[in-house]
């Protein structure tokens, strides 16, 4: 065996025999080796900064300042973003700016720094609201009230959290152009989750105006104010109801015309079945009516209206949801009908307002001057109204009070008393049913009266019901009564002697005679719009709305103001005249107020035929209870109406 072979063999034997000692040495040194430092998410993937050694000194070395976490070496981009963000600045009252550990650790414990994807991480999407709430307590609490926060609290994981909207490190003040929360960037931010809605917005008038540089054009956050830190509506329908006021802030011309319609009045009273802006114009893809793609383009209106109304046709679509009664170019019919009704109301109120004021002062003077002594005729009664008239009047009182109480809140939706009256009735869903029931009652008493007149005039051939002193038809004598009444008002002559029916009673009668068909027919048109528009153009619905509202206001204010004065509030009748309920009045009063009729009955020998027993005690009490309840209700409403009219002007 050669020498070098022998040497190699000896060395090999020695190495083999020493192997166990090498293993023990390696194990001993492995147990004494220091732990590796914590690796970030990027470092765990093997993404280390170039030319930097990962060592303890990287974070703890000279010049580093915990908890800055070695930004110069490992997190340059992140630290650059934070330095430029609002978090680099001290807060109000000298509150120190947040540092890395404020967000990425639990109470500064460095072992709690975990990747954002880890459910335990303080910056995980499920925990970020709590983390941000450490400094932004109020915002964190209000976030839970918002749509995003509320849905996350209910267990959904997709809705946005703080960092989704505000960013994680590059958080800038909202007013800065680069901020994700700046209104100009809201579209980009929201598109991350709501891509289809943003795409529709881009096509819309709002989106096009924004792109054209119109700073007043609405963007996502202009309308969706409850996505972040405001109380979220209970449902999408509630949101659409709230949006009417938002739309009105910009569309000041269209808002009043919308409120003039049932849609606008009803939504103001929180009636969720009525159409809102979004129902007709769509929530995001709102386009001008001239655009063929628009939901309010004439070619698309039938489809749009059909979302709420059945059996819609082209006539129905001619209805204007934004009538402008002061613009004759938009609709001459609406313009002239509206102004006719306004002048009718002004004329009637002007005449009877002056008439009432003059009567009040003259009646008070006369009442003070006259002697009021007990007369034997005070215990004798005459029949003034037949049972059918008393029953009809009770139906009128009940239906009229309820019609006013359920109709006025729509016209005065903007007043506190209007909303309170609507709430007392159980809301519009209930009150409109009551309104329609009372409309049917109105039809019933109108038919009762027509049948009564027909029976008297045609079947019994008592033609005096159509002409003469027993008739409600105006006569020449009524003109003289008006003239003589004004002479008495101005102390230029004696109080006129009056017959069975006075000129103001005839006016009351024909106000109802005119009002019932006018208010009734216009109300039926509004009740059954699709049936009406099978035969008539939709503009008749706009006319019906004007006529129904103005005539109802005229009737309500006239009855509760002037009719009440004529029959109850005059000094000689105050506080209440119960004749219409008992049907009887004293002979002494009959002689004084209806002297012409009294003289005629005496001369014809018919006075005995109208004499009657006094009303029962029950009839008197029931009449006063029912009467007071009715006219106090009416007085409250008429005072509210006049107060509102005076306040607006």
Give, for 427, the enclosing helix (H) or strand (E): none
Please list, in sequence order, all residues whose beta carbon lies within 8 angstroms of the beta carbon of residue 161, skipping any fewer than 6 positions away.
Answer: 125, 126, 128, 129, 148, 152
Q: Looking at residue 628, what is its pLDDT?
A: 94
CATH of the domain at 351: 1.20.950.20
Q: Looking at residue 107, what is its pLDDT?
A: 86
Q: Looking at residue 40, what is its pLDDT?
A: 44
Q: Give the CB-side neighbour count of residue 102, counting CA atoms within 13 A.
A: 13
Give residue-wise pLDDT tens across range 165-189.
Answer: 888 888 888 888 888 888 888 888 8
What are φ and ψ of residue 213, in 5° steps? 95, 10
Determine the Cα–Cα distance for residues 262 and 259; give it in Å rounded to an integer.
7
Determine the Cα–Cα distance for residues 371 and 501; give it in Å rounded to an integer.
26
Query: Do 495 and 416 reside in the same domain of the chain?
Result: yes
Q: Looking at residue 63, what is its pLDDT?
A: 60
Residue of 100, 114, 108 lying closest to 38 (CA atoms): 114
Instruction: Tell me the percentage of the chain whose pLDDT exceeds 70.
Output: 88
Please list, in sequence order, all residues whose beta carbon lies within 8 angstroms of the beta carbon of residue 66, skipping any fewer than 6 positions away.
Answer: 59, 60, 101
In a domain, 175, yes or no: no
* pLDDT level of residue 137 (50, 70, 90 thresholds): confident
Q: Looking at residue 32, what is its pLDDT?
A: 39
Query: Do 560 and 491 reside in the same domain of the chain?
Result: yes
In a domain, 604, yes or no: yes
Least confident range from 64-78, 208-222, 379-393: namely 64-78
617-623-629-630 Cα dihedral, nearest 10 degrees: 180
Q: Render the burial of 108-140: b for 16+ CB within 10 Å, e for the rest.
A: eeeeebbeeeeeebbbbbebbbebbbeebeeeb
Query: Do 349 and 447 reside in the same domain of the chain?
Result: yes
Q: Looking at residue 68, what is its pLDDT?
A: 59
Tell which phi-psi region holds residue 139, choosing left (phi > 0), alpha (psi between -120 and 50) or beta.
Answer: alpha
Determine the Cα–Cα distance for residues 343 and 546; give it in Å rounded to an integer.
13
Given 288, 317, 346, which residue is the final one in a domain?
A: 317
Residue of 615, 365, 385, 641 lying closest to 505 (CA atoms): 385
Q: Looking at residue 648, what is its pLDDT?
A: 78
Query: Do 398 and 483 reside in the same domain of the chain?
Result: yes
Contact, 193 vs 186, CB < 8 A? no
Query: Do 267 and 381 reside in the same domain of the chain?
Result: no
In a domain, 195, yes or no: no
Q: Is the pLDDT at 37 greater than 70, yes or no?
A: no
In a domain, 139, yes or no: no
To the question of pTM greater than 0.95 for the whole model, the response is no
* Residue position matching structure tokens 């009955």: 601
Residue of 349, 356, 362, 595 lying closest to 487 (CA atoms): 362
Query: Do 312 and 339 reside in the same domain of the chain?
Result: no
In a domain, 495, yes or no: yes
Q: Looking at residue 213, what is its pLDDT?
A: 87
Residue of 568, 552, 563 lying closest to 514 (CA atoms): 552
Query: Do 473 and 520 reside in the same domain of the chain?
Result: yes
Q: Is the pLDDT at 71 greater than 80, yes or no?
A: no
* Residue position matching structure tokens 């004529």: 566
**Which stretch, 64-78, 181-195, 225-239, 625-639, has highest mean pLDDT?**
625-639
Q: Is the pLDDT at 48 greater than 50, yes or no?
A: no
Give, for 381, the enclosing helix (H) or strand (E): strand 381-383
Q: Looking at residue 230, what is its pLDDT?
A: 78
Query: Do 360 and 503 reside in the same domain of the chain?
Result: yes
Least confident range from 412-416, 513-517, 534-538, 582-586: namely 513-517
Quick one: average pLDDT of 117-136?
90
* pLDDT level of residue 86 (50, 70, 90 thresholds): confident
Number of domains the chain is built from: 2
Quick one: average pLDDT of 619-627?
95
Query: Do 392 and 281 reside in the same domain of the chain?
Result: no
Please list, in sequence order, all residues whose beta carbon lies within 8 angstroms of the beta carbon of residue 316, skipping any fewer than 6 positions away.
Answer: 302, 305, 309, 529, 530, 533, 538
Q: Looking at residue 495, what is its pLDDT?
A: 93
Determine the Cα–Cα distance for residues 220 and 227; give it in Å rounded to an integer.
10
Determine the Cα–Cα distance for residues 514 and 494; give it in Å rounded to an integer.
33
Contact, 418 vs 409, CB < 8 A? yes
Q: Looking at residue 169, what is its pLDDT?
A: 87
Query: Do 341 and 287 reside in the same domain of the chain?
Result: no
- C-alpha dist (Å) from residue 245 to 242, 250, 538: 6, 9, 26
Instruction: Say whether 382 sits in a helix, a strand or coil.
Output: strand
Given 275, 291, 317, which residue is the final one in a domain?
A: 317
In a domain, 191, yes or no: no
Determine the Cα–Cα distance for residues 619 and 627; give it in Å rounded to an integer.
12
Per-residue 3-state assignment (H helix, E strand, C coil) for 45-103: CCCCCCCCCCCHHHHHCCCCCCCCCCCCCCCHHHHHHHHHCHHHCCCHHHCCCCCHHHH
Query: Do 308 and 433 reside in the same domain of the chain?
Result: no
In a domain, 593, yes or no: yes
Q: Is the pLDDT at 190 greater than 60, yes or no?
A: yes
Query: Do 371 and 462 reside in the same domain of the chain?
Result: yes
- Average model confidence (pLDDT) across the chain: 86
In a domain, 513, yes or no: yes
Residue of 271, 286, 279 lying closest to 321 (CA atoms): 279
Contact, 86 vs 98, CB < 8 A? no
Q: Are strands 381-383 and 611-612 parallel, antiparallel or unpaired?
A: antiparallel
Least confident range from 229-233, 491-495, 545-549: namely 229-233
Q: Is the pLDDT at 541 greater than 90, yes or no?
A: yes
Range of the domain at 485: 332-648
Cis peptide before 67 (omega within 30 of 0): yes
Quick one: average pLDDT of 453-475?
92
* pLDDT level of residue 29 (50, 70, 90 thresholds): very low
Q: Give the CB-side neighbour count of residue 441, counting CA atoms within 13 A.
A: 19
Q: Is the pLDDT at 456 greater than 90, yes or no?
A: yes
Least confident range from 25-29, 275-279, 382-386, 563-567: namely 25-29
Given 287, 317, 347, which residue is the final one in a domain?
A: 317
Q: Looking at residue 43, what is its pLDDT?
A: 43
Quick one: average pLDDT of 249-256?
90
Least confident range from 49-58, 253-262, 375-384, 461-470: namely 49-58
For 268-282, the DSSP string reads: HTT-TTS--HHHHH-
Q: Is the pLDDT at 392 greater than 70, yes or no?
A: yes
């Amino acid at each position: 065996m050669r020498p070098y072979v022998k040497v190699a063999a000896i060395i090999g034997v020695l190495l083999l025999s020493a192997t166990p000692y090498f293993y023990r040495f390696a194990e001993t040194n492995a147990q004494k080796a220091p732990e590796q430092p914590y690796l970030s998410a990027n470092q765990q993937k093997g993404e280390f900064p170039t030319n930097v050694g990962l060592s303890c000194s990287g974070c703890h070395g000279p010049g580093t300042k915990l908890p800055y976490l070695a930004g110069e070496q490992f997190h340059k981009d992140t630290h650059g973003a934070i330095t430029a963000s609002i978090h680099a600045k001290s807060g109000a009252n000298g509150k120190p700016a947040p540092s890395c550990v404020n967000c990425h650790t639990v109470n500064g414990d460095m072992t709690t720094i975990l990747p954002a994807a880890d459910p335990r991480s303080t910056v995980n999407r499920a925990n970020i609201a709590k983390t941000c709430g450490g400094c932004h307590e109020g915002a964190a609490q209000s976030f839970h009230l918002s749509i995003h926060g509320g849905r996350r609290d209910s267990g959904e994981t997709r809705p946005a959290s703080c960092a989704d909207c505000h960013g994680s490190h590059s958080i800038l003040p909202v007013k800065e152009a680069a901020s994700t929360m700046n209104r100009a960037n809201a579209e980009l931010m929201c598109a991350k989750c709501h891509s289809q809605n943003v795409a529709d917005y881009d096509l819309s008038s709002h989106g096009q105006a924004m792109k054209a540089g119109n700073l007043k054009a609405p963007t996502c956050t202009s309308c969706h104010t409850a996505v972040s830190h405001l109380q979220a509506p209970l449902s999408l329908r509630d949101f659409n109801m709230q949006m009417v006021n938002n739309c009105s802030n910009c569309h000041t011309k269209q808002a009043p015309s919308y409120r003039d319609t049932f849609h606008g009045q009803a939504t103001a009273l929180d009636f969720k079945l009525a159409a809102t802006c979004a129902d007709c114009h769509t929530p995001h893809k709102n386009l001008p009516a001239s655009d063929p793609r628009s939901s309010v383009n004439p070619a698309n209106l039938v489809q749009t209206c059909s979302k709420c109304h059945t059996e819609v046709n082209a006539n129905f679509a001619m209805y204007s949801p934004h009538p402008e009664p002061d613009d004759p170019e938009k609709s001459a019919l609406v313009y002239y009908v509206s102004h006719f009704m306004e002048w009718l109301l002004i004329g009637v109120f002007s005449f009877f307002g002056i008439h009432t004021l003059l009567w009040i002062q003259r009646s008070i003077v006369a009442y003070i001057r006259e002697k009021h002594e007990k007369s034997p005729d005070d215990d004798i009664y005459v029949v003034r109204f037949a049972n059918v008239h008393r029953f009809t009047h009770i139906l009128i009182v009940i239906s009229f009070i309820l019609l006013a109480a359920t109709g006025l809140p729509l016209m005065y939706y903007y007043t506190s008393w209007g909303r309170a009256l609507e709430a007392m009735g159980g809301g519009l869903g209930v009150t409109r049913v009551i309104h329609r029931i009372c409309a049917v009652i109105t039809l019933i008493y109108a038919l009762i009266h027509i049948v009564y007149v027909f029976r008297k005039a045609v079947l019994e051939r008592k033609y005096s019901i159509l002409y003469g002193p027993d008739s409600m038809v105006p006569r020449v004598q009524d003109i003289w009564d008006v003239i003589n009444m004004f002479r008495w008002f101005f102390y230029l002559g004696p109080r006129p002697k009056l017959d069975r029916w006075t000129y103001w009673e005839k006016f009351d009668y024909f106000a109802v005679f005119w009002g019932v068909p006018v208010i009734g027919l216009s109300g039926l048109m509004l009740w059954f719009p699709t049936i009406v528009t099978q035969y008539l153009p939709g503009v008749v619905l706009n006319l019906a709305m004007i006529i129904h509202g103005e005539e109802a206001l005229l009737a309500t204010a006239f009855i509760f103001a002037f009719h009440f004065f004529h029959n109850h509030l005059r000094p000689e009748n105050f506080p209440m005249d119960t004749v219409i309920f008992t049907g009887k009045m004293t002979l002494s009063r009959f002689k004084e107020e209806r002297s012409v009729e009294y003289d005629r009955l005496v001369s014809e020998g018919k006075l005995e035929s109208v004499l009657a027993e006094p009303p029962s005690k029950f009839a008197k009490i029931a009449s006063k209870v029912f009467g007071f309840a009715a006219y106090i209700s009416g007085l409250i409403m008429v005072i509210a109406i006049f107060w509102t009219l005076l306040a607006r002007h």
